[in-house]
A and B are shown apart, each in its own frame.
Chain A
């Protein structure tokens, strides 16, 4: 067991770390894109009267299609039809972002609809424009409420990002499977990868938890009393 661990995991630690770096890169850009797309879809769905049908269709499509299907769809279909993800990494980022943007849009919407309606009416009565209401009154409160769910979605993105290995993005899973297929010794490598993802996601959720409590105490309702 120990010899195998040294031989397959430690000897290939550099490759695996490269893979981890690619995973982080893909997840970061996908998550950023997902937040932007989700916010846009959410605001269109709530505030624009005619375009909201399109936004609803987009959100439902993103939420109801499995990530693997979206990944293969974006990777094989989009370059021929739309012509733009020219690299596999781009396709992976777009597919992960598509999936998460649907979920995030609904999360943001639940946050916006949780606010008391009186605040919006009061802001309108004071004479604020629509954009100013969103940016000054609603967004700060929604951000505070929605933050744990958004971090949850980040965890989902990291977990889904293991799938991008099948369109040959050299992420952690891809590098690990390459070693497995080279030596036919799955135990040590795959267990190490599983533990790595576990540590990564556990760290994300713990850090986010502390940050959430900190921000709640500093800026939340309790702080203004």
Chain B
């Protein structure tokens, strides 16, 4: 997945300079270029549109305040998604974890029963829901990497760049996430471990 094209092929540093100078259109170009990437990340993280939209807005507000921290030569997409990722984790820690835990504790068994009674399509839908709940139980970094890999469909190197970690670490954390999901899901998918 490549960096989104900015209008007029403007280099990232020029765009940032124009926004710093108060150029509203430059800022809108900036939002236009990355809004969907941020939304994808946040939606995958929270699994609902409203929270994802909040994160998109908050990310660009935060980016505007932190324009001075952008280092020229650095990937603009990496910088944007790094801030979005931090906001997602903060937001999740503040508002989400307990709520999701309660929901998950209550409904995992219900989901399995429902899956047994319905057909294949329903089972697929339930699996998706079940997976989403299990993803919320992962550690922050594991969750972020799984989401970026499977929902945002980033390659390992892109994730490494965005999260500022080594590609080997990305692979290893992704594998841990998969292993954790396996152990969470195996009782519900009827797979012998």
Are A and B genuine complex partners? no
B→A interface (CB under 8 Å): none
A→B interface (CB under 8 Å): none
